[in-house]
Amino acid sequence: MKSFIVFALIVAAAVAAPPGNPDADAQVLRYESDNIGVDGYKFAVETSNGIKQEEQGQLNNPGTDNEAISVRGQYSYTGPDGQVYTVVYIADENGFQPQGAHLPQAP
The full length of the chain comes to: 107
Residues 55, 89: Cα–Cα separation, whole Å: 9
Confidence at 13, pLDDT banded by 50, 70, 90: low
Helix intervals (H) in 1-107: 2-16
- How does residue 103 score in pLDDT terms, banded at 50, 70 and 90? confident
pLDDT at 5 > cutoff 90: no
User: What values do phi and psi take at 51, rounded to 5?
Assistant: -80, 135
Is residue 62 helix, strand or coil? coil
Gyration radius (Cα) of the chain, Å: 16
| pLDDT at 24 (0 to 100) | 79
Global model pTM greater than 0.85: no
Mind listing the pLDDT tens digit for each residue in 41-89? 999 999 999 999 999 999 888 888 888 889 999 999 999 899 999 999 9
